[in-house]
Chains A and B, each alone.
Chain A
Amino acid sequence: MTQVQTTYRTCPRSGLQFERNAENLMKANAFVAVVWLLIGGLLAIGVVLTRWPAFRWLEADRFYQVLTAHGIDMLIFWIIFFEIAVLYFASSTLLRCRLATPKIAWLGFALMVIGSVTTNVAVYRGASSVMMTSYVPMMAEPAFYLGLILFAVGALVGCFVFFGTLVVAKRDKTYEGSVPLVTFGAITAAIIAVFTIASGAIILIPTWLMSMGVVKEVNALVYRTIWWAFGHSSQQINVAAHISVWYLVAAIAFGAKPMSERVSRTAFLLYILFLQLASAHHLLADPGLSTGWKVVNTSYFMYFAVLASMLHGLTIPGAMEVAQRQKGFTKGLFEWLRKAPWGNPTFSGVFIALIGFGFLGGISGVMMGTEQLNMIIHNTIYVPGHFHATVVIGTTLTFMALTYTLIPVLFRREMIAPKLAQWQPYLFGLSMYAFVLVMMGAGTLGVSRRHWDMAFQGSPLAYEWPGAAYLMMGMVGLTGVIAIVGGAIYIYVTVGSLLWGRKLEGGASAATFTAIPRTAPTVAAQTTGSMGFAAPGTFTLAMVFLLAFVLYYFINWKYLSTLWGLS
């Protein structure tokens, strides 16, 4: 076995052990991620101020250009750069081993940087305002696709470095037994990522060739079908990744242990098996696809992936509740929650993310992913309302929350403006709650997404939206601006801490890793099963969730039943 020159640092604040190469790569990926968040956030100003009917700030061509860049920079670049950092953390740091092939990992990072910059340059040049989805036969510049392809290859390299690192840990025996649950979740995310990126390559490479005139035609429907195996699945990477982070934060903030490893891991396994089918959600209003195909795929084959999310939604707060009850917060149903560390932005951010992801993102996602119900929201602004609940409240807020922990631990800086950081998850998270609700409200009235002017100026047959739609789009603008301020505070605190924060002690450094000591089975762990109803508060919350879900679901069927007959 070749000996790799590296060092291992044990963080005095968290006890986590960081290997030097992995640490540098995590820092680099997380930093570039935040840069894309900053750019995407600046672009968001243009989007919301244009969709706010009272302002309609940008001209149409500029608006579509800004919207294209906003989507790509946020949904792909910010999130996947951060996810690569999470993958390296979940492998090298949690398993206390060296990172496999650091040079190749840097190559992957370089490809991702080059790719993301290339695509952005193509969009800003002006001839690639094709939206993130870039449906053929509408064509962007070749550089637009090439950038995405390079980025995808780089991300794929990152996934394989992650898998390699798991092998290193196993071979070097840095741990005994099974990998930790958080690592298990990260493996799920990485497996989904490989499928996702492969789908992206399959469809983007021919499209790139078409943009250069090498390939004559890419079938429009085939494009949509395969593109969504990339476009939707990339959001499934987020789900698996941010749910892993939720387990991580529950462990860090509460010392919580999973209620049962069996349930949580099975739920992750269901994601691998069924989550991918959800790309069908985008094709429910399309011609040419059979009903059976739509029903099986859009339901993730009988909603098994929804089941998995509902399980995580119970077990994560449930684990927090059990941990809090063991600390003595046992009064009533909710003392554990009232006495939770609400002033810790890592916890508050994750909790706001969890509730928002479930109630707003989850319920709306299942509704719109129902074959027939999809017809009342397809391509309306309900759709971005939904995915801002999942990707912004769910993933982005979770990653923001995690950053507050990473600043002292990984970046070794004292956080500047801790009071501001305390408020940030509330400001950002709650304004996003309002933002997605009004977006979904406007979408329910039919307002289109990706649309410059809801007044249809210049059209001889202009349609007049009801006043409520205008009111809600105005509120989309207002709440969007507040959310952008919340995002700006995050950037200020994180980047400011790196620039001006007091340097912190790195901790003892060693030439070899310290293996994870074997944990003795705890008494509590062995009795979990016989404790009876361990988390009644969480169960109550879950029932509230179910009630909201059932009501909303059937209200929409009622709405559908009033439409024109269609068959």
Chain B
Amino acid sequence: MSAILPPAERLWYRHPIDRVEGTWIAIALTWCLIMFFMMVGWHIWGKQNLSTETYRTTPDKFMAKTQAMVDKYTVRTETDAKVPVVKPPPGSDVYLVARLWSFYPILELENGKSYRLHLTSMDYNHGFSLQPANINIQIVPGFEHVITATPNQTGTYSVVCNEYCGIGHHTMVGRVYVK
């Protein structure tokens, strides 16, 4: 009864199971169920769950909302390209545009306060990789993803695009300040 020959016993499915296998099945199944309920349980007790709130959008629609926020809450500009630094009030809707090959605008948030962060892409798929916090979210064109985010540490964060988006991909970095 080798693995390369037909089973010698025709009724192989009635063959008793060795204790080693039986014990391992029980242990492995238990572990699998623990992992499953851990994932469900984190939705109840955990504080890091990715929101599923999503709307269809278009580049024009999203850009208009972003620009309205920028016009209202810009506190200064940075870099040669004069990227606006926007400081929206806690609890408000915050828009972040991903496009070839930059994030727009720069955000300034308050530590411990929650914001509704809206993400979308103007063109290709992009990645929202917040460093060094290491939070990674996919940005898909045509979809506006709304995430409630609560910074828990002050500092300067970078938003690295970690979805390949063409030749300038490695220059696509944005910034978030938490004060």
Interface residue ranges, A against B (CB under 8 Å): 60-61, 64, 94, 131, 135, 137-138, 175-182, 219-221, 224, 247-248, 250-252, 255-265, 283-291, 295, 298-299, 302-304, 306-307, 310-311, 314-315, 318-319, 366, 370-372, 374-380, 444-446, 448-454, 456-463, 465-466, 516, 519-522, 525-526, 528-536, 538-539, 542, 546, 549-550, 553, 557, 560-567
Find A263's partner among B25, B31, B81, B165 (CB 8 Å cutoff).
B25
Q: Which residues of chain A come closer than 8 Å to B21, judged between CB atoms?
A: 259-260, 263, 311, 314-315, 318
B42's nearest neighbour on chain A, judged by CB, is A372
The answer on a CB contact under 8 Å between A291 and B158 is no
Measured between C-beta atoms, what is the minimum distance from A340 to chain B in Å? 17
Find B48's partner among A94, A262, A561 (CB 8 Å cutoff).
A561
Q: Which residues of chain A come closer than 8 Å to B152, judged between CB atoms?
A: 562-565
The answer on a CB contact under 8 Å between A257 and B3 is yes
Find B5's partner among A180, A284, A550 (CB 8 Å cutoff).
A180
Q: Take A258-B3, A288-B54, A519-B8 as given contacts and tell me if A563 and B162 are in contact as well, using a CB distance cutoff of 8 Å.
A: no
Measured between C-beta atoms, what is the minimum distance from B83 to chain A in Å? 8
The answer on a CB contact under 8 Å between B6 and A285 is no
Q: Which residues of chain A come closer than 8 Å to B4, judged between CB atoms?
A: 94, 180-182, 248, 251-252
Contacting A at CB under 8 A, from B1-43, are 1-10, 12-21, 23-25, 27-29, 31-33, 35-36, 38-40, 42-43
The answer on a CB contact under 8 Å between B81 and A262 is no
Residue B141 is within 8 A (CB to CB) of chain A in the complex:
yes
Measured between C-beta atoms, what is the minimum distance from A513 to chain B in Å? 15
Measured between C-beta atoms, what is the minimum distance from A217 to chain B in Å? 9
Q: Which residues of chain B come closer than 8 Å to A377, judged between CB atoms?
A: 136
The answer on a CB contact under 8 Å between B137 and A285 is yes
Residue B69 is within 8 A (CB to CB) of chain A in the complex:
no
Q: Which residues of chain B come closer than 8 Å to A564, judged between CB atoms?
A: 48, 130, 133, 135, 149-152
A446's nearest neighbour on chain B, judged by CB, is B134
Q: Binary interface profile of B, 123-139, with partner A (CB < 8 Å = 1, else 0)? A: 11101011111111110
Q: 17 A-B contacts, Cβ less than 8 Å apart?
A: A60-B167, A60-B170, A135-B163, A181-B3, A264-B3, A286-B138, A299-B35, A306-B28, A314-B20, A319-B3, A444-B134, A451-B164, A528-B16, A535-B20, A546-B31, A564-B130, A566-B147
Find A525's partner among B9, B52, B145, B149 (CB 8 Å cutoff).
B9
The answer on a CB contact under 8 Å between A286 and B3 is no
B172's nearest neighbour on chain A, judged by CB, is A459
CA of A453 to CA of B127 in the docked complex: distance in angstroms? 16
**Given contacts A564-B48, A564-B149, A565-B148, could you give 4 more A-B pairs where the C-beta distance is less than 8 Å?**
A177-B7, A258-B3, A448-B162, A563-B133
Q: Which residues of chain A come closer than 8 Å to B160, judged between CB atoms?
A: 446, 448, 456, 463
B163's nearest neighbour on chain A, judged by CB, is A379
CA of A520 to CA of B2 in the docked complex: distance in angstroms? 12
The 7 tightest CB contacts between A and B, nearest first, are A529-B16, A287-B145, A463-B158, A565-B150, A303-B32, A448-B162, A378-B136
Q: Which residues of chain A come closer than 8 Å to B12, judged between CB atoms?
A: 178, 261-262, 265
Find A370's partner among B1, B31, B35, B127 (CB 8 Å cutoff).
B35
Residue B61 is within 8 A (CB to CB) of chain A in the complex:
no
Measured between C-beta atoms, what is the minimum distance from B162 to chain A in Å? 4
Q: Take A286-B138, A445-B134, A525-B8 as given contacts and tell me if A534 and B32 are in contact as well, using a CB distance cutoff of 8 Å.
A: no
Q: Take A262-B17, A291-B43, A461-B158 as given contacts and tell me if A456 and B170 are in contact as well, using a CB distance cutoff of 8 Å.
A: yes
Q: Which of B81, B168, B171 has the most CB of A within 10 A?
A: B171
Q: Which residues of chain B come closer than 8 Å to A375, judged between CB atoms?
A: 48, 50, 135-137
The answer on a CB contact under 8 Å between A565 and B149 is yes
The answer on a CB contact under 8 Å between A566 and B134 is no
Q: Which residues of chain A come closer than 8 Å to B13, judged between CB atoms?
A: 261-262, 265
Measured between C-beta atoms, what is the minimum distance from A523 to chain B in Å? 11
CA of A178 to CA of B11 in the docked complex: distance in angstroms? 9
Q: How large is the interface on B (under 10, 10 to 19, 20 to 34, 35 or more residues)?
A: 35 or more
Find B3's partner among A175, A256, A304, A546 (CB 8 Å cutoff).
A256
The answer on a CB contact under 8 Å between B167 and A302 is no
Find A259's partner among B20, B28, B50, B169 (CB 8 Å cutoff).
B20
Residue B114 is within 8 A (CB to CB) of chain A in the complex:
yes
Residue B143 is within 8 A (CB to CB) of chain A in the complex:
yes
CA of A263 to CA of B31 in the docked complex: distance in angstroms? 18
Q: Which residues of chain A come closer than 8 Å to B143, judged between CB atoms?
A: 220-221, 287-288
The answer on a CB contact under 8 Å between A372 and B50 is yes
The answer on a CB contact under 8 Å between A303 and B46 is no
The answer on a CB contact under 8 Å between A302 and B81 is no
The answer on a CB contact under 8 Å between B20 and A177 is no
A517's nearest neighbour on chain B, judged by CB, is B5
CA of A450 to CA of B125 in the docked complex: distance in angstroms? 13
Measured between C-beta atoms, what is the minimum distance from A356 to chain B in Å? 19
Q: Take A251-B2, A256-B2, A446-B131 as given contacts and tell me if A178 and B28 are in contact as well, using a CB distance cutoff of 8 Å.
A: no
Q: Take A262-B17, A366-B35, A560-B48 as given contacts and tell me if A178 and B137 are in contact as well, using a CB distance cutoff of 8 Å.
A: no
B152's nearest neighbour on chain A, judged by CB, is A564
The answer on a CB contact under 8 Å between A449 and B2 is no
Q: Which residues of chain B come closer than 8 Å to A283, judged between CB atoms?
A: 138
Measured between C-beta atoms, what is the minimum distance from A170 to chain B in Å? 12
Q: Take A261-B13, A284-B50 as given contacts and tell me if A376 and B134 are in contact as well, using a CB distance cutoff of 8 Å.
A: yes
The answer on a CB contact under 8 Å between B129 and A446 is yes
The answer on a CB contact under 8 Å between B2 and A255 is yes
Q: Take A221-B143, A530-B16 as given contacts and tell me if A566 and B1 are in contact as well, using a CB distance cutoff of 8 Å.
A: no
CA of A189 to CA of B132 in the docked complex: distance in angstroms? 41
CA of A378 to CA of B40 in the docked complex: distance in angstroms? 20
Residue B67 is within 8 A (CB to CB) of chain A in the complex:
no
Residue B173 is within 8 A (CB to CB) of chain A in the complex:
yes
The answer on a CB contact under 8 Å between B1 and A448 is no
Q: Binary interface profile of B, 115-129, with partner A (CB < 8 Å = 1, else 0)? A: 000010001110101
Measured between C-beta atoms, what is the minimum distance from B54 to chain A in Å? 4
The answer on a CB contact under 8 Å between A376 and B140 is no
Find B1's partner among A220, A258, A553 (CB 8 Å cutoff).
A258
Q: Which residues of chain A come closer than 8 Å to B136, judged between CB atoms?
A: 285, 374-380, 446
The answer on a CB contact under 8 Å between A521 and B129 is no
CA of A529 to CA of B106 in the docked complex: distance in angstroms? 67
Q: Which residues of chain A come closer than 8 Å to B17, judged between CB atoms?
A: 260, 262-263, 529
Find B80's partner among A60, A460, A563 (CB 8 Å cutoff).
A460
Q: Take A288-B52, A291-B43, A546-B31 as given contacts and tell me if A520 and B8 are in contact as well, using a CB distance cutoff of 8 Å.
A: yes
Q: Which residues of chain B come closer than 8 Å to A220, judged between CB atoms?
A: 125, 140-143
A459's nearest neighbour on chain B, judged by CB, is B171
A524's nearest neighbour on chain B, judged by CB, is B1
